[in-house]
Structure 1
Amino acid sequence: MTCPNCECLQARIRELEAQVARTSETSHQPPSQDQAWKKKPKSERHRGVRSSGGQIGHPGTTLKMNPSPDEVVVLPMTGSCTCGQHWNEVEVHDLLARQVLDLPEVQLHVTEYQAEVKMCPRCHQRQQAAFPVDVRGQVQYGPRFQGLAVYLNVAQFLPFKRVGDVLETLCGQRPSEGTLALHLNLATERLAGFEVSLKEALLEEPVLHVDETGSTVKGKLAWVHVISSKQLTLYGHDPHRGSAAIQAMGVLPRYRGVLMHDAWLTYFQLAARHALCNAHLLRELRFLHEQLHQDWAGELRAALQRVYHQHKAGTLTPAEKAAFLVQFDALLEAGLVSNPAAEPVPKQRGRAKQSPGRNLALRCQKHRDKVLRFLHEDDVPFDNNQAERDIRMVCVKRKISGGFRSAAGGKNFCRIRSYLSTLQKQGLSTYKGLISIFRNQVLLPQLSFSR
């Protein structure tokens, strides 16, 4: 039966309106769940004073002349001068050059290995020369072709069919889906040692970022987890989201540095020192201020942004820092006053459901040191954007080619993607890295950093 109390009805209406108004910019809701009809989310970035485009004094970039062109085409002067002199009788005074940079015609380069076979004239024993260790089949693809196929699938997220389309268009050869799967399996096998070393290197990082996102296997929900830093990235694929997956990856249970995350309860069970993402906090404060009209949330959001930018620029004085900490506590108290505790519902088990504003204020009070750790430790960032950027690539893959056909396919993708992301962060060529895998001479990124 509906409660006849008008205040209860109004509260319920406000609650439903707030649910409808939630977006990825005002809550933990992922962007994929945003409704198309909702207005475009506002950016948290402050508007700069500079105009868009290149700035005054910016050197710019343009194509440069190559001092060693592959081909030179001389264009002769023909005909005659206006005075009647034939140009073919005149010596060249100067040459003006223009260059065209283009791709050569793409076609597979076929190398045939012919192993000599000889018969011993004394004992009549038949012997043959050894083929290279990586030439095992009668006809097979080489490391550049294999590297390109894996690059298209794991780096550009193309499904097998489209990988075949691209290779057939460029190279005139279409590998089967089974062959592509074998390439991925081989790359995964040869990167096993890299992954072991990567996990050990992550344990030495002062700050790690973590996040997770859904990833289906045969239509069933699974999860991709990421553990990353500025220089390193580790992805893991698991049917579970919680502690079982974290244990399986084998890094976080042993980690004792600062762990940056979005306040997911499972992460708090780890022994690391925790820091909370303030980008999430800013989105939640925006929701409370703009949708629920709670002024304390708007003031706290503005104060948090101000002190962050001052801290980042190195202009935050000790007095300003102390004043902010006092203001932070006072605004949280104001939030609790604006969101009084809900009374227990008669005959209802468990704790009474609290309002979003009260839950946020209580969380910030409980984890005050974790929210504000960026102010006290220079190595700790303000937000968890590093992990969100890394996990976004998995979301792009999901959007382009969907989920995985098998759990093994998910694990293959994550191990190879860990390698490519780490190479990219360190400014190394991902394509050359893939070629090195198929030559069985894996190009290893730097895994040890002096602190």
Structure 2
Amino acid sequence: MKEQVTDISKVLLNIAEEMRLMRETINQQHTEITKLNRNIESLNHQLRKKNEEIAKLKKRLPKYETPDKNSGNSSTPPGKERMKDEIVRRTKTLRKPSGKKPGGQEGHKGHKLSCIDTPDEVIDDVPDYCTNCGESLADAERILDYVTQKVSIPELKPVVKEIRHYVMVCKNCGERIRTAPRHRSNDVVYDASVKSLVVYLSVVQFLPYGRIANFLHDVLGLSPSEGSLVNWVNEAKRNAQPIVDKIKEYIMSSNVVGFDESGCYCNKRLDWAWIAQTVYYTLLFRANGRSSKVLTEQFGDSLERMTAVTDRHSAYFALHFLNHQVCLAHLLRELQYLSELDTDQKWSEQVANLFREAIHERNTNPTDIISKASWLDKLDSLLKLNVSKLGKKFDTFKNGLIKCRDYIFNFLEDPMIPSDNNASERGIRKLKIKLKNSCTFRSDFGADAFLELHSVVETAKKHNQTPFNAIQALFEV
């Protein structure tokens, strides 16, 4: 028989006490769980921050683990590379060692200055007394031993010419006749020789107007204002306009033209300077962009008759050129970077060797027409290889080669097409030197003056004329 409960109140009190204790335990556990949840949330927040920091560090890590891009292994211009890279570039070359000793090779003829037949002054170097016995040599026999010539610069002093202008009165009609109308300007003017020197220092030696004025004052004792220097450059630009138009006409009728473009700071904005050059002519001009429409507006339908030698800038491939040649020097620099990026793989070096062999074949046979079919077959076999495992940069470069495959070996089939665009880069680099010295052009007219006069100078050099003589000719028009 079950035990009967006799004291119900006591049992209820015990149950109430147990429930109270259980409630306190639940409250304590809830407080503890809430505290743990807060801690977990805090730890999750810290973990997210750590993950973001790790992601940033991973993004920065390739900068220190992978080789830097510079002008030796990419299209990075020399002016934007680090000083450390510049030092390496000046002491390192992409050319492979030939194994020969440095210096003049056996059979190489040395060169030295030769004496001229008509020196301006002859000086006799004759000893006065005998160093052995002390006897005077005034009446001794004179024998010519050897001849040297010393070149010196005469004292730089401006020549001032006073021109007296007369008026002649005709006896027949009484008309007063002058040789030329009177100039409404200063009584003292500078002639073409001074103007030519100023333009030469500005366009060829890339000096700012302030430094040109200092040179004229310190060396020649001349004191023209900087405004006069600007006017003389502008005068040369106006006189050069027919020549620039003729250069453009010749380039438009040329079969092979090299193109390139570069930034040009002008009047507080970034413009773009373009170069179009051939073996005999160079034309530089300025535009507000670097799209394909710039060349379309400048050269029109003549582009369809040209073979363009360029880098892989997309604007050139949007135009309908007759043919195209991609600069192999650019490709070799990019391949050099890939070789530095992964020294264990051989793919980039194999492609580079293929390009070098093709260039060597052209240099060895400069006038031959060489079929590019076998070279394309070799390239295709390399492009079929899987380089995805080497990294994204290898895959990107390979895809770029596939896109321009048909424009890589065209220089083999036409001896007039160069394998690189170095001539265009050298031609436009003078602009970067000018900007490095002067930082910017302060007017559109000044920028156009430099580019057009530089076109005349570079064209003159290609025709074996000195830049100074070409500039002098502008003031003789």
Q: TM-score range by the shorter chain?
A: 0.7 to 0.9
**Alpha-carbon offset, residue 228 of structure 1:** 1.0
Distance 1:303 1:158 in 2: 43
Matched, 1:192 2:241: yes
CA contact (8 A) 1:213 1:224 kept: yes
d(CA) in 1 for partners of 2:288, 2:232: 24
How far apart are the structure 1 equivalents of 2:75 and 2:408? 16
Matched, 1:51 2:101: yes
Distance 1:255 1:176, change over 3 A: farther
Match of 1:109 among 149, 156, 159: 159
Distance in 1 separating the partners of 2:359 and 2:132: 73
Distance (Å, rounded) in 2 between the aligned partners of 1:255 and 1:111 = 55
Q: Which residue of 1 aligns with 2:82?
A: 35
Q: Which amino acid aligns with 2:454?
A: R
Does the CA-based 8 Å contact 1:144-1:435 persist in structure 2? yes
Q: Distance in 2 between matches of 1:438 and 1:404?
A: 24
Q: Aligned partners of 1:35 and 1:359: how far apart in 2? A: 25
Could you tell me which amino acid in structure 1 is paired with residue 188 of structure 2?
A: V
What SS class does the counterpart of residue 263 from structure 2 fall into? Answer: strand
Q: Residues of 2 paired with 1:132 and 1:251: CA distance?
A: 46
- Please give the residue correspondences for 1:22-421 in structure 2 after superposition, counting only pairs within 5 Å: 22-38=69-85, 40-41=88-89, 42-75=92-125, 78=128, 87-89=137-139, 92=142, 94=144, 97-120=147-170, 124-130=174-180, 138-250=187-299, 254=303, 256-272=305-321, 273-292=323-342, 294-314=345-365, 324-335=375-386, 338=389, 355-421=392-458
Q: CA deviation at 1:17?
A: 6.2
Structure 1 residue matching 2:108: 3-state secondary structure:
coil
Q: What SS does the aligned partner of 1:226 have?
A: strand
What TM-score does the superposition give when structure 1 sets the normalisation length?
A: 0.82
Q: Is the 8 A contact 2:369 2:414 kept in 1?
A: no
Deviation, 1:199, is: 0.9
| TM-score normalised by the chain length of structure 2 | 0.78
Task: Give the gaps of 5 or more residues in structure 1.
Answer: 341-354, 441-451
Gaps of 5+ in 2: 1-47
Amino acid at match of 1:405: R
Cα–Cα, structure 1 residues 381 and 123, in superposed 2: closer, same or farther, change >3 Å? closer
How big is the shift at 1:295?
3.4
Over 3 Å counting, the alpha-carbon distance change for 1:377 and 1:81 in structure 2 is: closer
Q: Which has the higher contact order (CA 8 A, sep 6+)?
A: 1
Residues 1:21 and 2:58 are matched in the alignment: no
Question: Secondary structure, in 3 states, of the residue corresponding to 1:403?
Answer: coil
Tell me, yes or no, if the aligned pair for 1:3 and 1:9 is still in contact at 8 Å.
no
User: Percent sequence identity over matched residues?
Assistant: 27
C-alpha distance 290-150 of structure 1, shift in aligned 2 (>3 A): same
In structure 2, what is the Cα distance between the partners aligned to 1:84 and 1:167? 51
CA distance in 1 between partners of 2:49 and 2:398 (Å): 30
Q: CA RMSD of the aligned region, Å?
A: 3.5
User: Distance between the aligned counterparts of 2:132 and 2:354, measured in 1?
Assistant: 78
Larger Rg: 2
For the Cα contact (< 8 Å) 1:260–1:384, is it kept in 2? yes
Is this contact kept in 2: 1:297–1:335, CA < 8 A?
no
Deviations 1:12-41 (A, max 9, x none): 678666887322333322222223344724
| CA deviation profile, 1:346-370 (whole Å, cap 9, x unmatched) | xxxxxxxxx3322322222222110
Q: Is 1:199–1:251's contact at 8 Å kept on the other side of the alignment?
A: no
